Amino acid sequence: LAKLTHFNGATFDDGKIEAARFDRHLGADARYQQSGAEALVHILRLQIVSIEAANLGLSATDEQIDERIALAIEQIEAAGMSIEKLLARRAIEMSEFRKLIGDSILHEQLVRKSLNLSIFEPVSPRQLETWSDDKLNKLLELSKSAPPGMALDAPPFRVSEQELGRVMRRTMSQEELQDRLEQMVLTVAMPKWAAVNKLVLSDDILNDEVEWRRKRVNENPAYGGATYEGLLKTKGMTVETVLESDELRVAGYLRLLAEQVMPESFFDNLTDELKAQYENEHGESRNVGWILLRATDDKESPLDLDFDEAKDELIALRDRIKTQDDFHDLAYDYSEDDRTRRRGGMLGWVHHYEKGVTTALVQAAFSMAGTGIYGPIKIVDDSPFQPLSGMAILLVKEIRERPSEADFREAVRRGTHRNLRQSFLESIHLDSVFQSSN
């Protein structure tokens, strides 16, 4: 079981966030979050058992609960933990634990009654899940039309957004919770900042942000050709719901902040170092793919390749490439970089510097004169985070020249959002306390 993270509140200039308010915030946005869907399912499974059992007059005796708890304690201690420590870690009282155990007994009784099983016949996990899911799916559908403040309002089944948010905190990491809190604080503080500075968040700014996101999806092969609208649909969202969201408005305010921090005059006085950095990050870009065979100077098994052996194998593959489709097919069959192999070897659009992409690979791609197939090329990166040693065939599929000066400056500003977000939170003296139970 994950540790429960307690939230002791947050303060910032002219504002504060209390635990109940934060829980409501988590619950209000839950329908678009995997953690929210999982928390709602958890709550409803318990409600279904409790309400259905009460309707049928079923009950779990103290003796049955005590026997089941004794068995649970044996299993917990066999795993090297005490029941007291486990409950403390989850911030669960023994009375609540007894209720959960009692519900599990009632669940079995309900399934037996539904399937006409005797009290001596065991109930399988699959039977338990199927019984719950039949009722659960109907309630989840009703939750889509819940009124404000409620995650579900279908009496006798009712779940408030605050209750849902409180349960979500039991599954979210401290890092996730901190990020969600910061986003909440920004939705409160940034409109006030904009008003003080007489800045207006226009529809054009919000639409520009949506277009930027759409372009990112369209150009990234990791999405497998999916559209921005298609990705939103998988989360139960549309472009319209995005345009109405607090999250997009925060991104819009960050665009305003970036323009204030980096006005046109900012770019007229850049140091040579900053000019080079921005050119590397936002200048010319190339659509790149590769076929990688890992190689080493120190073979540890007969299956390992040294650099000469990898080169020979890649030359044989290169000779089979007549079209870009050939490259993609061979990459899928032979490349040893699994992340790109499944995309026909395509890494996507990269700049001279691209975070998360092997430096040696990017340098090789930009050293080529134009589009085409190149290599084999030795690719070695001693990074402790992404060490790489091998030979590769490169495909430079397309080249996009440096954008216009106006678009270039806009890209530079957009690339600073994460840092600007952090500096803004520091400027309003955000102080929050999350504490994990031991």
What architecture does CATH give domain 284-400?
Answer: Roll (3.10)
Torsion sign across C-alpha atoms 205, 208, 214, 217: negative
Q: Please list the residues that pair with 285 across neighbouring strands.
A: 351, 400
pLDDT, residue 226, reads 86
No. of helices (H) and no. of strands (E), the chain:
20, 9
Q: In a 3-state reduction of DSSP, which class is residue 158?
A: strand
What are residue 395's phi and psi, to 5 degrees? -115, 115
pLDDT, residue 234, reads 87
- Amino acid identity, residue 313? E
Residue spans per domain, the chain: 5-172, 176-262+416-436, 284-400
pLDDT, residue 394, reads 97
In sequence order, which residues have a C-beta less than 8 Å from that of residue 45 and are 6 or more positions away?
132, 136
Outline where DSSP puts E strands in 222-317. Answer: 285-294
The pair of three-digit structure tokens given for residue 11, joined into one six-digit string: 């303060």
pLDDT, residue 66, reads 95
pLDDT, residue 383, reads 78
Q: What is the pTM of this model?
A: 0.81
Read off the pLDDT of residues 166-180 as tens digits, 9 standing for 90 and up: 999 877 888 889 999
Read off the pLDDT of residues 250-309 as tens digits, 9 standing for 90 and up: 999 999 999 999 999 999 999 999 999 999 999 999 999 999 999 998 888 888 999 999
pLDDT, residue 360, reads 87
The answer to whether 395 touches 285, Cβ cutoff 8 Å, is: no
pLDDT per residue of the chain (438 residues) written in tens, 0 to 9: 344 566 778 999 989 999 999 999 999 988 888 889 999 999 999 999 999 999 999 999 999 999 999 999 999 999 999 999 888 877 788 998 999 999 999 999 999 999 999 988 999 999 999 999 988 999 999 998 999 999 999 999 999 999 999 999 877 888 889 999 999 999 999 999 999 999 999 999 999 999 999 999 988 877 777 899 999 998 888 999 999 999 999 999 999 999 999 999 999 999 999 999 999 999 999 999 999 999 998 888 888 999 999 999 999 999 999 999 999 999 999 999 998 999 999 999 999 998 888 888 999 999 999 999 999 999 998 877 778 899 999 999 999 999 999 999 999 999 999 999 999 999 999 998 776 655
pLDDT, residue 437, reads 55
Look up residue 4 and give its DSSP letter.
Answer: P
pLDDT, residue 296, reads 92
What are residue 382's phi and psi, to 5 degrees? -90, 15
Q: What is the largest CA-CA distance in the chain?
A: 83
The answer to whether 36 touches 168, Cβ cutoff 8 Å, is: yes
